[in-house]
């Protein structure tokens, strides 16, 4: 699997890059060599809505405006998150030609999350999979994840909190309409935690578990900036219902 470590300066471009990588993989049709692991870490806090999340219900828009925290929307499903420094972001592109079982969504979640769990456990952290695709320490969540399916490839991406300012969650987010049963109506601060690991340790563990040893410096720049300009930075996309 190829490995790309790249954080762009603009939050919209960072979200666009994941989709651009998926588009690029689709152009290769069913070439398994297009599988890729990307890791990145935002340079500033920002809010990311899931594809079907409701802006008015899941985001404290006024607080975000006062704090100058951008609010954007990703192409995959799941609930709204806050990310920023101390939150490692990852994305994996997986080929259906190589992994046909992933066409079943429950198998896709199970397979990817088991790999993520093994990566974290390799650092001596006893974590579990709860809900559909959360990683937890005990009853506290430190990783949320989501996916986007295309004809030939799957994009699976998510967060790993290791040194994040957790107070940002309560400040920027509203109460999610959809909650896993294990949350038990707890507040954001009661529900979420950081894990004790460094960025370097996390990256090494992810690369090991995904066998991502083939570093690459190439990425779809034109597609990324087209998507960032025409989609991710536009209010029409962020505020869609």
- Say what the pLDDT of residue 32 is: 77
Residue 92 has pLDDT above 80, yes or no: yes
**pLDDT tens digits, one per residue of 147-193:** 999 999 999 999 999 999 999 999 999 988 789 999 999 999 999 99
Residue 200 has pLDDT above 90, yes or no: yes
- Say what the pLDDT of residue 217 is: 94
pTM of the model: 0.96
240 pLDDT band, cuts 50/70/90, is confident
Scanning the structure block, which residue is given the tokens 């990783």? 143
Residue 235 has pLDDT above 90, yes or no: yes
Whole-number Å distance between alpha carbons of 73 and 9 = 17
- Say what the pLDDT of residue 75 is: 97
Asked if 194 and 162 touch (Cβ cutoff 8 Å), the reply is yes
Residue 181 DSSP label:
G
Which domains occur in the chain, in start order?
Answer: 2-238 (3.30.930.10)
**pLDDT tens digits, one per residue of 93-141:** 999 999 999 999 999 999 999 999 999 999 999 999 999 999 999 999 9
Give the Å distances, CA to CA, from 95 to 13, 91, 169, 187, 225: 24, 13, 34, 37, 24
Q: Per-residue DSSP letters for 91-117?
A: EEEEETTT-GGGGSHHHHHHHHHHHHH
**pLDDT tens digits, one per residue of 29-81:** 778 789 999 999 999 999 999 999 999 999 999 999 999 999 999 999 999 99
- Say what the pLDDT of residue 164 is: 98
Quick one: tokens of 84? Answer: 């920023």
Q: Are strands 128-130 and 134-137 parallel, antiparallel or unpaired?
A: antiparallel
Q: Are strands 36-40 and 87-95 parallel, antiparallel or unpaired?
A: antiparallel
- Say what the pLDDT of residue 225 is: 97
Asked if 87 and 160 touch (Cβ cutoff 8 Å), the reply is yes
Asked if 36 and 4 touch (Cβ cutoff 8 Å), the reply is yes
Strands (E), 138-184: 140-143, 145-149, 153-161
- Say what the pLDDT of residue 31 is: 81
Average pLDDT on 4-25 reads: 97
């Amino acid at each position: 699997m190829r490995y790309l470590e790249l954080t762009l300066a603009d939050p919209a471009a960072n979200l666009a890059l994941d989709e651009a990588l998926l588009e690029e993989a689709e152009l290769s049709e069913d070439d398994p060599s297009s599988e890729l692991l990307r890791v990145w870490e935002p340079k500033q806090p920002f809010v990311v809505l899931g594809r079907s999340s409701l802006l008015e219900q899941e985001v404290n828009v006024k607080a975000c405006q006062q704090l100058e925290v951008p609010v954007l929307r990703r192409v995959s499903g799941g609930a709204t998150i806050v990310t920023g420094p101390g939150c490692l972001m990852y994305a994996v592109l997986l080929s259906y030609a190589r992994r046909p079982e992933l066409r079943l969504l429950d198998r896709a979640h199970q397979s990817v999350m088991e790999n993520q769990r093994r990566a974290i456990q390799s650092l001596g952290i006893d974590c579990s999979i709860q809900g559909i695709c959360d990683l937890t320490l005990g009853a506290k969540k430190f990783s949320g994840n989501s996916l986007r399916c295309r004809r030939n490839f799957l994009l699976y991406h998510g967060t790993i909190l290791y040194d994040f300012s957790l107070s940002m969650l309560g400040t920027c987010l509203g109460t999610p309409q959809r909650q896993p049963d294990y949350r038990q109506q707890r507040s954001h601060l009661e529900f979420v935690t950081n894990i004790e690991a460094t960025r370097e340790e996390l990256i090494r563990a992810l690369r090991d578990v995904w066998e991502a040893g083939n570093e690459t410096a190439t990425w779809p720049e034109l597609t990324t900036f087209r998507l960032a300009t025409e989609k991710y930075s536009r209010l029409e996309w962020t505020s869609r219902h």
